[in-house]
Chains A and B, each alone.
Chain A
Amino acid sequence: MLKDDPLKRVLYVDLATKKFWVEERPELFEENIGGTGVASKLLEEECPVGIDPRDPKNPIILAVGPANGLFPIASKTVAMFQSPHTGNLGESHAGGRSATCLRLAGYGAVVIRGQSDIPVYLVIDRSGVKFRDARALWGLSVSATGRAIREKETGSGLRSILRIGPAGETGVTYSCVVTETYRHFGRLGLGALFGAKKLKAMCLVGRRSLPVTDRKLYRELYDELLKRLRETPALKKYHDLGTAVNVIPLNERGALPTRNLRQTRFEMAKKISGEYFAEHLLSRRLACSHCPMACIHLAALRTPYEDEPYFYKTTFISYDYEPIYANGSMIGVGSAEGILKLLDTIDNLGLDAMSSGVVLAWATEAFEQGLVGEEETLGLRPRFGDVETYLQMLHHIAYQSNEFYAALARGVAYASSRYGGEDFALAFGGNEMPGYHTGYGAHLTHLTGSRHSHLDSGGYSYDQKLSPEEITPEKLAHILFDEEVYRQILSSGVCCFFGRSVYNYETLSRIFKVSGFDFEVEDLKALGRKILRRKYAFKKARGFELTKLKIPRRILETVSPHGKLEEEFLRQGLAIYKSLLESGA
């Protein structure tokens, strides 16, 4: 890497002693690039085996990569930690402006250790860390917290404000960290770890310049990539309607999880489609820093106050496919406005929108089946489609109002272990299901992916590309393994996965060379495997066993576009994936 590239600077923060220091670690980046590669190495160094996720020794690691601040669509920050939700590997990526701000503040990674005695927030800029008293912010919603810090701190336009809501403070294991109001470190409970550390927020401010090996080459490569990105059809698709464009096609295929995946087609899909949102509610489109796509879609929701006529509030709420699935079809809500109300509450409480919806779906079915009653629900009667009841339940979950809601606050795997209903508890490796019942590919990704996220290896897209006859456990496991290996490099850059059709290995190799990294395509593949196996080793050391993963019965009962799924196929896929992870290790 280049000698004057600030990427090599790792910022260490100790919340217990309120101290910080910077270590220059060029070899860490030369070996691991940045992002997922660097964060996984730092996690290995920092996180002891056998601790509870709330233990002060559980670190928060943020990492960016060489492409951030240099190339378009390199807009992500990687967070790593031991997940409060699964107790195992926690990894979450967020867009917005945090990656640019961190990189341009002059750091490649931040390691946050310890626990503060009082609520604090951090201001991180080129001069280091300022510890600010956040006692006055504790208990505030995500938006009120953002507003307060925005007005108190400087750096408008050059900063990123990461914050948690009440759900993170009470330790809901799937609480998130929100950045720039509309982007999230959504999954696996980073919010709960912020809460456990009494860390309410972080304000990252940066605006420096970045060196390159060859200025002319840099400009030429930049122009080439931007042109290729602009010519990518997917980019236009996601700019126009956003990821919500997927509602209708998935519904038509019979792959849209509906009413806790009892069905795969939702009769009101049109009312919650990307097209409906765009025509009736879309008010603004936004982009993450350095992204030519602008896939962030904001809806304007006008709500009347009931105590006074002609008195309205207008709220801007972001929507995407996954939150629409989880808080729409999955819980039987067929109104876009209803979904927006739920998302507004979820965002302000600081919950993960995907897990929240799946938790509500499970709770509804558990109530229907009599596994829980009104004593548990505090008098509420959840039923599919009932937005008002769900809004009340979300508050109970965030504040963990009683034993039942405290169980829901730990996700469906835990709640079903307490109350029954495991067959319809839709979680994989402890993480609630994403919105794809497309076939074996999707579910094998959910099971094998190191984060149990649909984005780990995108199996849902292979379900749509391949015919049922073409798919075997062997073939699928190999395809998904190679894909997950590749995505380790993409997220070490750190590039948004939407750029993947342009940012292939060959292109990434050229991108990294501009920052003085000498990786050929084969080197990148080898590094991708190394990073993936490192993450797997982290999980194994904490009791993870791929072949013993629970497969929710519901996904085998509800017919997918590839027919009824057989457990044996998935079990074979898991065994092969395991052998791929363990070979050469």
Chain B
Amino acid sequence: MAHLKVVDPDRCVGCQLCMFACQRRTGEGGIAEAAIHVRSRGGISRGLTVVVCRACEEPPCAAVCPNGALIKRKGGGVVLAPKKCLGCGLCREACTLQAIFWNEATGKPVICMHCGYCAQYCPHHVLVLEEGHAQG
């Protein structure tokens, strides 16, 4: 299965079109459900970091979920089963890349599902949807 890849964060201009695209999957505006984030490396003059799930084959987030709400995804990464999720936030702490975000309104994590919708909107080829395993 395909997975999203950050090809070159140094090409990122910080337009956040990927974040807004991710939210538009839901049909709404804003960024509460954005599973990808762009932030500065401590002030925007130092450049930008693109933070998104790497589709781990052995995801630490799934390992710590107390209620089996994070199901390992074929091809790496996880899929959230919202009904099982307690909103404890352990997954967020477990993610080494800090790529699990939080929707304050729902009280649940927001995690990339590797659909590649955001990559279609990146104007500067920072993101691609790549076939095969991320850690293959």
Query: A residues near B, CB below 8 A?
Result: 69-70, 72, 100, 103-104, 126, 143, 146-147, 150-151, 156-158, 180-182, 207-212, 215-216, 218-219, 222, 226, 230, 284-292, 294, 296, 298, 316
18 other A-B residue contacts (CB within 8 Å) besides A207-B30, A209-B29, A210-B30: A70-B29, A150-B43, A157-B38, A157-B39, A158-B31, A181-B44, A181-B45, A182-B45, A208-B30, A208-B31, A208-B104, A209-B31, A210-B29, A211-B28, A218-B29, A222-B24, A287-B14, A291-B15
Residue ID in chain A nearest B16 by CB atoms? A289
B42: chain A residues at CB < 8 Å are 150-151
Residue from A157, A212, A286 within 8 A of B13 (CB atoms) = A286
Q: Is the CB of A100 within 8 A of B16?
A: yes
- The answer for the CA separation of A550 and B55 in the assembled complex, in Å, is 65
Residue ID in chain A nearest B47 by CB atoms? A284
A72: chain B residues at CB < 8 Å are 17, 20
Contact (A212, B29) CB under 8 Å given A100-B16, A126-B104: yes
* B135 interfacial contact with A, CB 8 Å: no
- The answer for the CA separation of A181 and B38 in the assembled complex, in Å, is 17
A226: chain B residues at CB < 8 Å are 121
Contact (A181, B43) CB under 8 Å given A285-B13, A287-B15, A292-B15: yes
* B27 interfacial contact with A, CB 8 Å: yes
Q: Is the CB of A286 within 8 A of B14?
A: yes
Task: Identify the 8 closest CB pairs spanning chains A and B, nearest first.
Answer: A215-B27, A157-B39, A287-B15, A210-B29, A316-B45, A70-B29, A209-B32, A209-B30
> DSSP majority for the B interface?
loop
- The answer for the CA separation of A117 and B38 in the assembled complex, in Å, is 37
- The answer for the CA separation of A456 and B33 in the assembled complex, in Å, is 37
Q: Is the CB of B28 within 8 A of A215?
A: yes
A103: chain B residues at CB < 8 Å are 30
Residue from A150, A151, A210 within 8 A of B28 (CB atoms) = A210
Q: Is the CB of A207 within 8 A of B104?
A: yes
B38: chain A residues at CB < 8 Å are 157
B28-56 vs A, Cβ < 8 Å mask (1 yes, 0 no): 11111110011110111101000100000
A-B contact pairs, 7 of them (CB 8 A): A69-B20, A69-B31, A157-B51, A209-B31, A210-B29, A286-B14, A292-B123
B26: chain A residues at CB < 8 Å are 209, 215
Contact (A209, B23) CB under 8 Å given A150-B43, A181-B44: yes
Q: Is the CB of A292 within 8 A of B17?
A: yes
A222: chain B residues at CB < 8 Å are 24
Q: For the complex formed, measure the closest distance between the CB of A561 and the CB atoms of chain B, giving whole angstroms.
A: 35
Residue ID in chain B nearest A161 by CB atoms? B43
Residue ID in chain A nearest B51 by CB atoms? A157
B15: chain A residues at CB < 8 Å are 287-292, 294
Contact (A104, B45) CB under 8 Å given A157-B38, A209-B105, A292-B17: no
Q: Is the CB of B24 within 8 A of A219?
A: yes
A209: chain B residues at CB < 8 Å are 23, 26, 28-33, 105
Residue ID in chain B nearest A66 by CB atoms? B29
Residue ID in chain B nearest A151 by CB atoms? B42
Q: Is the CB of A156 within 8 A of B30?
A: no
Q: Is the CB of B40 within 8 A of A157?
A: yes
Q: Is the CB of A216 within 8 A of B27?
A: yes
Q: Is the CB of B31 within 8 A of A104?
A: yes
- The answer for the CA separation of A146 and B16 in the assembled complex, in Å, is 21
